[in-house]
Amino acid sequence: MAKLIFFLAVQILLLAAVSSTGDDGENFARTIDRKLLGLHKKEKLTHFKVYWQDILSGPNPTSIMIQPPVTNTSYFGAISMIDNALTAKIPINSTLLGQAQGFYAGAAQKELGFFIPNRRLIRKYAKTAELWV
């Protein structure tokens, strides 16, 4: 299971690196034009760019398996709790923007599929942003 979580963390990190605009990391949030998305409601949309720091081992891991998978051939039934830092840049010691707290649960028996509910607290804003992935 640790290999799977490591694989997912690497994939998220690579996706974030590929989609990076190369800015200084200070502008992690920007407003999105609703009309470009075909939306006409009055709500304000914001695009956040943060890096999810998932530490799997060492003296202070941020992701810990609390239930191993049911079988060795599938990750179905595995559950890991997380309390990950959200940072402005890829290095773990870059500006801390918030925390992502929740769990991963292996939800598919015949393919790789996860249920990942989590709560993301963006510290720069006065309130929490509840995001479900």
pLDDT tens across 55-99, in order? Answer: 989 999 999 999 999 887 788 999 999 999 988 899 999 988 888
Q: Is the model's pLDDT at 105 over the cut of 70?
A: yes
Q: Is 57 left (phi over 0), alpha (psi -120 to 50) or beta?
A: beta
Average pLDDT over residues 127-131: 48
Domain residue spans of the chain: 2-122
Higher pLDDT, 71 or 101: 101
How many CB atoms within 10 Å of residue 126?
6
Q: Looking at the chain, which runs of residues are DSSP E strands?
A: 29-32, 45-48, 51-53, 63-67, 79-87, 96-106, 114-115, 118-122
CB 93 within 8 A of CB 77: no
pLDDT band, residue 11 (cuts 50/70/90): low
Mean pLDDT estimate for the chain: 76
- As given in the structure block, the two tokens for residue 21 are 């605009």
Report the C-alpha gap between 30 and 48 in whole angstroms.
7
Q: Report if pTM > 0.85.
A: no
Report the C-alpha gap between 9 and 112 in whole angstroms.
14
Report the C-alpha gap between 126 and 86 in whole angstroms.
16
- As given in the structure block, the two tokens for residue 77 are 């039934």
Residue 88 has what pLDDT? 86
